[in-house]
């Protein structure tokens, strides 16, 4: 399964471990001393690149090999992370002031099949806004399913506010 899905077992030092050398039945989810990671490449479920930023929820931006998902109205296919429709363009924007990182170099590194960590010279703030209703550029109201249940909290706050008036 691991090999068929381009996955590796790595230890705490990030060294690849032969999966056949592991006594799998001696471990549970809580005492498993390894990590399983998917290798970079076109097969990776996160696409060609991911953008990590500090947060308490292990959320990050990432590419996707399944670009067709952006054509769907319901896009709740990720596990809390944020898929980017134009990940390479986003990388180019983030690195636009770094003369080392040309568009060509970004493309080569992203599609090179080798993990590469790039750190921004200057930190940029990241703000994530969650909307279930909004007005688009055409003036049309859009509604989406509240997959995180935040609207219930907002509704309760509004009801409390109405009672106070």
Number of helical (H) and strand (E) elements in the chain, helices listed first: 3, 8
Judge contact between 23 and 17, C-beta under 8 A. no
Q: Apex CA 119: angle with CA 116 and CA 122, to 5°?
A: 160
Helix (H/G/I), strand (E/B), else coil: 153: helix
d(Cα 3, Cα 101) in Å, to the nearest integer? 33
Longest dimension (CA), the chain: 68
Judge contact between 61 and 47, C-beta under 8 A. no
Q: Which residues are known catalytic residues? A: 62, 81
């Amino acid at each position: 399964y691991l090999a068929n899905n381009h996955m590796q077992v790595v230890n705490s030092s990030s060294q690849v471990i032969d999966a056949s050398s592991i006594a799998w039945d001696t471990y549970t989810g809580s005492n498993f001393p390894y990590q399983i990671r998917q290798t970079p490449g076109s097969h990776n479920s996160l696409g060609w690149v991911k953008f990590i930023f500090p947060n308490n929820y292990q959320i990050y931006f990432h590419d996707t090999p399944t670009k067709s998902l952006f054509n769907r109205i319901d896009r709740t296919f990720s596990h809390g992370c944020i898929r980017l429709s134009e990940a390479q363009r986003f990388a180019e924007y983030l690195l636009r002031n770094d003369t080392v990182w040309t568009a060509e170099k970004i493309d080569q590194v992203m599609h090179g099949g080798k993990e590469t960590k790039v750190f921004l010279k200057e930190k940029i703030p990241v703000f994530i806004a969650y909307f279930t209703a909004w007005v688009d550029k055409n003036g049309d109201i859009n509604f989406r399913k509240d997959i995180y249940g935040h609207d219930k909290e907002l509704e309760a706050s509004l009801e409390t506010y109405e009672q106070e008036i």
